[in-house]
Structure 1
Amino acid sequence: MITTPACEPAPPPQRSRHWPAITAAALTATVTVMPGFAIGALAPAIETSLDISRTTLGLALSSFYAATAVGSPIAKRIAARLPVHAVLSAAALIAAAVLLAAAQAHGPTLLTAALVVGGLGNALVQPAAGRLIAARTPTHRRSLAAGIVGAALAAATLIPGLLVALVLPDYGWRSALVTAGLLALMPAALTARMRTPATPLPPPPAPAPRRQARATLMMWSLAAALSATGNNAVATYFVRLGTDSGLPARTAGNLLALSALLAIAVRITAGILTDRAPRRNPAVIASMMLAGGLGLALISTGTPATFVLGAMLAFSAGWGWTGLLLATALHLVPNRTENAGHTVQVGIYTGAAVAPFAFAALSDTVGHTAATLACAAAAVAAAGAVVTGSLLFAGARRGGRSGYLGRG
């Protein structure tokens, strides 16, 4: 049975009211990861204004994602003990403060320090969101719920894309970051929506055997790291790659926003469809990673047409698996929901931590084409890790024929 803190005073809500809570959590997840994407999208302007190198800014961006990955074990414990609504509200407030502080930076030191703090705040989100989904969402709707929360990664690129297109040209990068910081305050006003009930939903299906479950989660975390390495590198430097392919900066910003909208739609649609047959989630995830790798390969060709097509494919499929992976992990360990969110988060943000600095250094050495092809190769390796994990998953299913793992 899922346990939640008895100190939360909210009465058990009706199940029909779980979607407002999930939406509020998704908005929180959007703003907490936004500092990394916003500063990445504004990178050319920031580098020129502060007179810092591409590698230095890449290292600063990597520190954001590294802080999320390193801070995740502590965040998991915090999310397991404190009320969900308090954890998510605190994360949103931290993100707002980080964006406003970054807007005042006059060198890499303050910028990097702000990103580290932002990464630690971002680490609180996935473990808390896992608890919220398990406590508020019926089992047959969890892929959709996780897809909505997972859409935050796409939405977090949508806002920077709009900032590049609408704010940066006329008002500069500092005003763009201030705008993002003010937007980040909004989810904190939705605190009441994210309270978990004192009485959880009915007991979940029996979990998989612990040893097989641990091995499966490790492989899925590795897959998330590999795929996120390639996808995050391209998302972070999307505007620069677009301009190098021959697109105007404003067009690249608009394309980033459009690609993000497509990614949101894909995540939600995938959640709806896979809720009908959740046992197929690993195969769907692997297919999405492969399709994302194809999109990255198209981007590497460096022409406007292939960049547009590759961007759409990389964002829609290449980033579309995040919610499904969280939902699948929740099914695998329904009695340790914060562990599921922690596993997915560590994988994604370990890869994301490597991506900005590694891509910047690699592109400086061998060029954008080879660097983007390396990202595509990482996506293919990620799909292989998902397949390997799914075989372990099948072994766990044979070891305990019950619940989610026992349905053929």
Structure 2
Amino acid sequence: MADGVDVTILSFIAPRLQQDWGIGANVMGNLFSAGLLGMAIGGMLIAPTADRLGRRKLILAALVLMSVGMLASGLAQSVSQLFALRVVVGAGIGTVLATMAALAAESAPEQHRNLAVGVVQAGYPFAAVFTGLIVAQLLPVYGWAAMLFGAGLVTLILIPIALLILPRSSAPAALTGRVDAIRIGALLSPNYRARTITLWGAAFFGLMVLYFIVSWIPKLAIQAGLSETNGIYAGALYNFGAFVGTMAMSVLAVRVPLGRLVPTMLVIAGVAMLVFGSMTMSAPTTLLVAFLIGVFLQGGYNGIWPLAASVYPADRRATGLGWAIGVGRSGAIIGPMLGGYLIAANASLPLLFGAYCVPLLLCAACVFAVDRLRRHALPNT
């Protein structure tokens, strides 16, 4: 939930921030990408240490990093300061995403592993819904800086809660004598190479599309004819759809193979994106389509993480998830940044959404491939 607040709040305040600082869509795209750069750093460089130090320590350290970064973001006086602080926040988020997915996979019974990891991922859009609703009411009164500071306070409150709840012994038992588990080479060994590369492809292409939508949907909804407040509501409805879709995916994953479920949801998301970008609709219909994009895009994409948790054994799970998240964040960096440049170049909405359907289909193909590779792997590999 802290991830959902800290990531999406920038998209909700983006129109007001651009107005107050007089910055264009290309600069705003760079600010969106700053947090994603931090997530790549957290996922690839920090999260893998959870396979040595345990999940609890890394999650707590990441929450501290996120809190400090968000509180300081509310005091930023320039684009460069805010960019640097978003990198700090992102590093904490990238660490938490990988570490908590690994912890959920290890804590749940095997038959409910996909459900457990999916439910954890649903916290992100669930919190983002309320973030959008609250920001829509408070932003006109208190301004964007207060919104960032408030998000930092929310994250700070979670630290003592995490201290009480997180298990003290949360390092995989299989770590004994396995120093090589924290090395990237372990993920690219012959038994894992094909699965790792296709998983990276799924994360890269999926996050490229997802963060384009997450970052720009309030702005694009306004461009499609909605007011600023309704544009923020469109972002909130997208995230509500993401929560509904993620929960639906988690429940269905107990019965339907993820290799079929996830690509199907992503293809439907592509259809909804094309409708959003190419058809003139009333405000209620525009909000409904934003909701449906959330259901099938983020609901489908979040199915990648239960699948990823099943690709690797416990001794390299946080490393595998961390690197998948890190590689995926490079796609997430490109997505909003490219969108910003296209918007600044006055690209039409049909062109924008049509262009992003291409990586969405590539993501679906990679998910299908990694599931087949996992199913045909030899036992204990």
State the TM-score, normalizing by the size of structure 2: 0.87
Query: Residue deviations 1:68-123, cap 9 Å, x none?
Result: 11442221332222242232122222222222212112210111010111111122
State the TM-score, normalizing by the size of structure 1: 0.82
Structure 2: how far apart are the matches of 1:260 and 1:107? Answer: 29
Local SS of the residue matching 1:123: helix
Structure 1: how far apart are the matches of 2:279 and 2:353? Answer: 10
The two structures, once aligned, show a CA RMSD in angstroms of 2.6
Structure 1 residues 361-380: aligned runs within 5 Å: 361-365=341-345, 366-380=347-361
In structure 2, the CA distance between the partners of 1:83 and 1:95, relative to structure 1 (3 Å rule), is: same
Query: Residue deviations 1:240-265, cap 9 Å, x none?
Result: 11111111222222232233223212
Give, as a single letter, the amino acid of the residue that structure 2 aligns with 1:179: G
Structure 1: how far apart are the matches of 2:105 and 2:220? Answer: 39
Q: Displacement, 1:156?
A: 4.9
In structure 2, the CA distance between the partners of 1:175 and 1:70, relative to structure 1 (3 Å rule), is: closer
Structure 1: how far apart are the matches of 2:23 and 2:188? Answer: 51
Query: Residue deviations 1:330-354, cap 9 Å, x none?
Result: 2221232213422441243222111
- 2:165 maps to 1:185: no
Native 8 Å contact 2:200 2:328 kept in 1: yes
Local SS of the residue matching 1:124: helix
Structure 2: how far apart are the matches of 1:261 and 1:36? Answer: 15
Q: Displacement, 1:212?
A: 4.6
Native 8 Å contact 2:204 2:327 kept in 1: yes
Give, as a single letter, the amino acid of the residue that structure 1 aligns with 2:374: F
Structure 1: how far apart are the matches of 2:295 and 2:46? Answer: 29
Q: Displacement, 1:32?
A: 3.5
Structure 2: how far apart are the matches of 1:303 and 1:74? Answer: 45
Which residue is equivalent to 2:133?
162
Structure 1: how far apart are the matches of 2:301 and 2:359? Answer: 16
Q: Aligned to 1:250, which of 205, 215, 229?
A: 229
Q: Aligned to 1:341, which of 295, 306, 321?
A: 321
Q: How many residues align?
A: 365
Which residue is equivalent to 1:241?
220
Structure 2: how far apart are the matches of 1:80 and 1:322? Answer: 25
- 2:259 maps to 1:288: no
Structure 2: how far apart are the matches of 1:83 and 1:212? Answer: 25
Q: Aligned to 1:145, which of 87, 102, 116?
A: 116
Local SS of the residue matching 2:303: helix
Native 8 Å contact 1:75 1:127 kept in 2: no
Which residue is equivalent to 2:364?
383
- 2:278 maps to 1:301: yes
Q: Displacement, 1:359?
A: 0.3
Give, as a single letter, the amino acid of the residue that structure 2 aligns with 1:218: I
Which residue is equivalent to 1:67?
38
Structure 2: how far apart are the matches of 1:94 and 1:199? Answer: 21
Which residue is equivalent to 1:19?
none
Native 8 Å contact 1:220 1:385 kept in 2: yes
Structure 1 residues 220-231: aligned runs within 5 Å: 220-231=199-210
When structure 1 is superposed on structure 2, of 33-42 and 59-68 the one drifting more is 33-42
Where do 4+ consecutive residues of structure 1 move more than 4 Å? 198-202
Native 8 Å contact 2:4 2:125 kept in 1: no
Structure 2: how far apart are the matches of 1:141 and 1:340? Answer: 20
In structure 2, the gaps of 5 or more residues are 175-186
Q: Aligned to 1:101, which of 66, 72, 84?
A: 72
Structure 1: how far apart are the matches of 2:138 and 2:170? Answer: 44
Which residue is equivalent to 1:25?
none
Local SS of the residue matching 2:192: helix
Native 8 Å contact 1:247 1:304 kept in 2: no
Q: Displacement, 1:358?
A: 0.8
Local SS of the residue matching 1:211: coil
In structure 1, the gaps of 5 or more residues are 1-29, 203-207
Local SS of the residue matching 1:320: helix
In structure 2, the CA distance between the partners of 1:139 and 1:363, relative to structure 1 (3 Å rule), is: same
In structure 2, the CA distance between the partners of 1:304 and 1:176, relative to structure 1 (3 Å rule), is: farther
When structure 1 is superposed on structure 2, of 348-357 and 387-396 the one drifting more is 387-396
In structure 2, the CA distance between the partners of 1:138 and 1:89, relative to structure 1 (3 Å rule), is: same
